[in-house]
Amino acid sequence: MDLWYTEKHSDNVGITIKTTKTLFSGKSQYQQLDIVETLEFGRMMLLDGLVMVTERDEFIYHDMITHPALFTHPNPKKVLVIGGGDGGSIREIMKHPEVELAVLCEIDGLVIEKSIEYLPTMASAINGSNPRVKLHVDDGLAYIRDHQNEFDVILVDSTDPIGPAVGLFEENFYRLVFSALKDDGIMIAQSESPFYHADIQKSMYHNLRAVFPIVEMYQAFIPTYPSGFWSFAFSSKIYHPTKDFDHDRAKNRNFKTRYYNEELHRGAFMLPTFARDNI
């Protein structure tokens, strides 16, 4: 039997992926979690029916939510990830030798547990074996309220602004992130599709600009997300993502990246006009 899963990207358009097996399906206190096997994208995790990661294209998202900030900040020692319970962002952060500690604050313990069980290529750094990683199962807002002036980089690795992630797109949350960052801190947040989510982007970037002096959008091509054209918000207290970017450190990095590189770092900040109009 053919089982095709469709995520609707608008009222009239969606992406359809052929699946072969359901590995896990269950409901946590916060959301519906499904992990399925697909023919072309490897294992795929869905939250409330929305594609969060697939094994085949997650490297793009996780390269791009981590490396641009970590190669712009001159000495990122302490990094916080809010959300990101699959562990892909933490895996990439661990490739930076100057990072002493990465904290994962994920609201839904079931996402962490099932990622460790079914998505080991992403969750290898969060399975308890890495002394540079700490896990907190907690609401990101509550966590940063108690952590002032502590982090060099904060990554908001969230779902779309529906369900438990709504608060992660609001000005009040960005103020808390600002306070949880050190004086030269950088925040990156996934910022949806410029093609489909203009309204979300307008409100999100408006909220970010109310708090951070430097706010720039950058883009990545992620095949399984709505339209494939995806974006991230770079928000910062003093460092500029292209002017202060350490090109040589990125070029001479001692690890491989399949998407990110020192040329693409600059290119990613160049936006088509319709996307620039959203921010």
Cβ atoms of residues 62 and 83 within 8 Å: no
Encoded one letter per residue, x for contact with ligand AG3 by CB under 6 A and - for no contact, window 71-110 reads: -------------x-x-xx---------------------
Give me the catalytic one of 146, 157, 160, 244.
157
- Give every strand in the sheet of 32-38, ordered side by side: 3-8, 14-27, 32-38, 43-47, 50-54
Q: Which residues of 15-52 are buried (b: 16+ CB within 10 A; e: fewer)?
A: bebebeeeebeeebebbebbbbebeebebbbbbbebbb
86 or 108: CB nearest ligand AG3 = 86
Q: Which of 92, 160, 216, 262 binds ligand AG3 (CB under 6 A)?
A: 160
Q: Is 50 in the site for ligand AG3 (CB under 6 A)?
A: yes
Residue 52: CB minimum distance to ligand AG3, A: 4
Q: Which range of residues in 93-101, 123-131, 153-161, 168-176 is near ligand AG3 by CB under 6 A?
A: 153-161
Is 277 part of the annotated catalytic residue set?
Answer: no
Q: Which of 52, 144, 211, 268 binds ligand AG3 (CB under 6 A)?
A: 52
Q: Is 64 left (phi over 0), alpha (psi -120 to 50) or beta?
A: alpha
218 or 225: CB nearest ligand AG3 = 225
Q: Which of residues 181-200 bind ligand AG3 (CB under 6 A)?
A: 190
Distance of CA 129 to the CA centre of its chain: 22
Q: Measuring CA to CA, which residue among 135, 140, 123 is closest to residue 176?
A: 140
- Supply 187's token pair: 């925040």
How many residues bind ligand AG3 (CB under 6 A)? The answer is 16
Q: Which of 66, 115, 159, 219 binds ligand AG3 (CB under 6 A)?
A: 159
157 or 262: CB nearest ligand AG3 = 157
- Supply 162's token pair: 């529906």
Distance CA 225, CA 239 (A): 29
Residue 55: CB minimum distance to ligand AG3, A: 12
Indicate the Cα dihedral angle 164, 156, 37, 221, nearest 10°. 130
Residue 158: CB minimum distance to ligand AG3, A: 6
- Which residues have C-beta within 8 Å of that of residue 246, sequence separation ≥ 6? 71, 72, 74
Q: Which of 51, 103, 116, 233 binds ligand AG3 (CB under 6 A)?
A: 51
Q: Which of 135, 226, 253, 279 binds ligand AG3 (CB under 6 A)?
A: 226
Q: Is 157 in the site for ligand AG3 (CB under 6 A)?
A: yes
- Supply 116's token pair: 């460790």
Encoded one letter per residue, x for contact with ligand AG3 by CB under 6 A and - for no contact, window 197-216 reads: --------------------
* Residues with active-site annotation: 157
Binding site for ligand AG3 (CB under 6 A): 7, 50-53, 61, 84, 86, 88-89, 157, 159-160, 190, 225-226
